[in-house]
């Protein structure tokens, strides 16, 4: 593993941590909830032989503070811009998984001039339904009362594919290790922020940069049913399905996803 530079900056009311791996043209990778930048390290190793890979911990995750109140997509988008400023990145490809994708839709609406390409992995465009929102807010309250562990345990079968859970206990343990860096307050405010997010379906038709869509064959949260309509709405976008992977496809199949992203990025050089 190459040495990783660690940076910490102030963004609004929170301290935001990010890591940098490799040298070359910048690319920014955004992890899913409730993980952190370590999620991307196996893929970043592949990319960092040619690219400067920038790995933020989203607000409320990993070593980044959550700030005051819900961690909204507007705050995440502002944090990403602050990280890019600090890393002297004007424009770059940005790739996000799940909540990383939600944050990128907001970032595109506010800072599209800074986006040279998009990778949207295991994510979706619709806002929470009334039922999903209520469930998310209930889960946020439960975590404050009962602690994070029961919540994380229930998340594993939703986030990791059946193949991973059966064949790769090391990846299950690694996912739990990342999750446990979040406090009850972190989980609660990130959940509340996701519950508030805007619908992004209409944003798709405005995306006019090279776009790669990725989902997992075993993703029960944002599978082909979410990815295919996105492909149809984003002009010229490509869609790839990762075999034997769930919602955390880059973590579950880093070699496959790393190869895909490397081809995508190299194709723009």
Calculate the average pLDDT of the chain.
97
Query: Where is pLDDT greater, at 201 or 268?
Result: 201
Residues in Cβ contact with 202 at an 8 Å cutoff, skipping those fewer than 6 apart: none
pLDDT score for 1: 59
Annotated domain spans of the chain: 5-266
Q: List Cα–Cα distances, 61 to 20, 118, 178, in angstroms.
A: 17, 22, 9
Phi-psi region of 228 (alpha: psi -120 to 50; beta: other; left: phi over 0): alpha
C-alpha 3, offset from chain centre: 23
Residues in Cβ contact with 131 at an 8 Å cutoff, skipping those fewer than 6 apart: none
Residue-wise pLDDT for 142-194, tens only, equals 999 999 999 999 999 999 999 999 999 999 999 999 999 999 999 999 999 99
Q: What band does 2 get if pLDDT is binned at 50, 70 and 90? A: low
Q: Which helix (H) or strand (E) holds 152?
A: helix 149-159
Residue-wise pLDDT for 15-41, tens only, equals 999 999 999 999 999 999 999 999 999
Residue-wise pLDDT for 115-136, tens only, equals 999 999 999 999 999 999 999 9
pLDDT score for 5: 86
Q: List Cα–Cα distances, 20 to 30, 36, 52, 231, in angstroms.
A: 13, 14, 7, 30
Hey, how many other C-beta atoms are within 10 angstroms of the C-beta on 51? 24
pLDDT score for 46: 92
First vs last C-alpha separation in the chain:
25
DSSP 222-239: SSHHHHHHHHHHSTT-EE
The size of the chain, in residues, is 269
- What is the spatial distance between Cα 14 and Cα 224, in angstroms, rounded to a whole number? 35
**In terms of DSSP bridges, do strands 25-30 and 51-56 run parallel, antiparallel, or are they unpaired?**
parallel
- Determine the average pLDDT of the residues in 109-120: 98
- What is the spatial distance between Cα 249 and Cα 254, in angstroms, rounded to a whole number? 7
Tokens 């040619």: give the residue.
Answer: 50
Domain 5-266 matching CATH 3.40.50.1820: the answer reads yes
3 state SS of 65: coil
pLDDT score for 269: 72
């Amino acid at each position: 593993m190459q040495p990783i530079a660690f940076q910490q900056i102030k963004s609004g009311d929170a301290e935001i941590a990010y890591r940098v791996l490799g040298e070359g043209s910048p690319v920014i990778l955004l992890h899913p909830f409730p993980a952190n930048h370590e999620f991307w390290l196996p893929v970043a190793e592949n990319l960092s032989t040619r690219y400067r890979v920038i790995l933020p911990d989203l607000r409320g995750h990993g070593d980044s503070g959550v700030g005051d109140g819900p961690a909204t997509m507007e705050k995440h988008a502002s944090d990403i811009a602050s990280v890019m400023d600090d890393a002297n990145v004007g424009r770059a490809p940005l790739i996000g998984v799940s909540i990383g994708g939600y944050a990128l839709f907001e970032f595109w609406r506010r800072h599209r001039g800074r986006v040279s390409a998009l990778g949207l992995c295991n994510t979706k465009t619709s806002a929470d339904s009334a039922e999903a929102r209520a469930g998310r807010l209930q889960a946020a309250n439960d975590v404050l009362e009962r602690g994070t562990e029961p919540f994380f345990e229930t998340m594993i079968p939703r986030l990791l594919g059946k193949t991973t859970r059966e064949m790769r206990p090391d990846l299950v343990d690694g996912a739990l290790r990342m999750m446990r860096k979040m406090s009850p307050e972190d989980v609660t405010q990130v959940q509340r922020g996701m519950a508030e997010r805007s619908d992004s379906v209409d944003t798709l038709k405005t995306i006019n940069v090279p776009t790669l869509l990725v989902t997992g064959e075993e993703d029960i949260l944002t599978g082909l049913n979410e990815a295919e309509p996105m492909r149809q709405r984003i002009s010229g976008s490509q869609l790839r399905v990762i075999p034997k992977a769930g919602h955390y496809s880059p973590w579950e199949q880093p070699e496959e996803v790393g190869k895909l992203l490397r081809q995508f990025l190299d194709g723009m050089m």
